[in-house]
Amino acid sequence: MPTKEEIALELSNLERKVLPAVLKSNSIPELIRETGLIEIEVLRALQWLANKELIALEKKEEEIYKIDSNGKLYLKRGLPEKRFLQEIEPKEKKISEFKQVDKDELNVCVGLLKRNNYINVKKEQELTFSITKEGQEKIKKGFVEEALLNKLPLSSSSLTTEDKKIFEELLKRKNIILKDKKTEFFAKLTVLGKELLKDKKLLETKVADKLTPEMIRTGSWKETQLKTFDITSKVPRINKGKKHFVNEAIEYIRNIWLELGFEEMEGNQVQSAFWDLDALFVPQDHPARELQDTFYLEHNSKVDSKILQKVKKVHETGGDTGSKGWQAPYSEKIAQETLLRTHTTVVSAHTLNKLKKEDLPKKYFIVGKVFRNEVLDWKHLFEFHQVDGIVIDPDVNLVKLKGYLKEFFTKMGFTDVRIRPAHFPYTEPSAEIEAYNPVKKQWVEMGGCGIFRPEVTKTLLGFECPVLAWGLGMERIISNYYKINDLREIYKNDLEQLKTMKTFIK
């Protein structure tokens, strides 16, 4: 808890003027008169004092009635019903003979005056109106509505029950009056504020809000008491335009890999089954290729026959990789099926196929959308982002793979991560990366990793070389930072969430 002296040093000159004035006055207009400051200066000082808990601001809302455009007109000309009665007071008149009341006003007047028995109506060739005894008395007494219109604006609390009824009737009519809300703030000293005011010297000290070039040049800053600033004090939230928090996270992840010397890969979201699965040595009868797991498109894709034949040979017999392959017939028709990519590892396959031995060593990454025909739940989406990476280098090994992943997850804010043995068709050894979710109290899979098998590398590169590879679910990774425990919440388009979500900074 800061001392009185420390709090006093944080007060601006505006606050030093307004705080003592709260002893005598507590409304905004009174404080303006008392301090000689303008309204915005008083309001600003009060907000700062409230943030420091030296005063409490009480808000009072009250309904007020204000005069509207037709109301101002009727104050000059008289209410339509008054003018109507005045026209028929000497003698009855036909509806076409009225001069002081226009057509729009006539309809209102007839209903209103007939209801109060101020007029008689005869239905002949056209409507004819005459004044009643009650109508004549009304002209003599006058219209209380006009008297009330002259007093506007009026607060609801100042009106009698009868006056309120009159105003509610006038509100039903076009643009005579309107009802608004008036908000007033009242300042009240807190215990801390009263304590501070007991020592007048604390507030009499002049402070400088800023250090100017002139003060530095002349050396006057040495004798000047500079205002201190509390960087923990509350400030109003500003809703400004900004990137979607997922895009901020993508940018952050991209920068991690770029800083580690990786190059970024790019690739299409629509791929052939050949590049998405076959080139990565996924057998053509693998369960992941079924309709319930993969989104297939109508038209088939064209695949270069040279690479197609190489992959076909590896699938059937292992080719020259030292493997036996899958020992099953390979269907070129299945290879040409078109799908939405199921992982960004397909881009890694394309990249490997373009590399030459003299290009090595190389490191690549991609952050991109992938699509799986998943059942939606708290940890599964059917459209999400994957973070893929490959390192092509004769000197890499499993230890270096763990090093890259440890560096990445540390930069993403994780402390409880483990790597467990697993199986994937295109890596050997293979492993799964898991992070602990303290809310769900369970380990959550973040992705897979390993070293590409010779069936992948030798076929695509044309020569044997160790290739480290990983594919990570981005949404699962960033949900830890954003305190989101259900992946479905990331894309629910909640405007309040988008406004308040913190920036991705580590």
* Rounded Cα distance, 284 and 330, in Å: 7
Where do the structural domains in the chain lie, given as residue ranges?
A: 4-54+190-223, 67-178, 247-498
Superfamily of the domain at 247-498? Bira Bifunctional Protein; Domain 2 (3.30.930.10)
On whether the CB atoms of residues 343 and 370 are closer than 8 A, the answer is: yes
- Secondary structure class of 450 (helix, strand, coil): strand
Burial of 130 (0-12, 13-18, 19+ CB in 10 A): middle
**Which residues in the chain come in under a pLDDT of 50?**
none
Indicate yes or no: pTM above 0.75: no
**pLDDT for residue 1:** 67
Residue 237 is classified by DSSP as -
* Rounded Cα distance, 411 and 405, in Å: 10
**What is the third-level CATH fold of 67-178?**
Arc Repressor Mutant, subunit A (1.10.10)
Q: Tally Cβ neighbours within 10 Å of residue 144.
A: 11
On whether the CB atoms of residues 471 and 343 are closer than 8 A, the answer is: yes
**pLDDT for residue 254:** 96
CA 336 to chain centre: 43
Angle of the 133-141 helix axis to the 80-88 helix axis, nearest 10 = 120
Q: Could you tell me the CA-to-CA distances from 418 to 46, 124, 367, 422 in Å, in that order?
A: 53, 97, 22, 12
**pLDDT for residue 97:** 83
Residue 276 is classified by DSSP as H
> pLDDT tens digits, residue range 297-319?
999 999 999 999 999 999 999 99
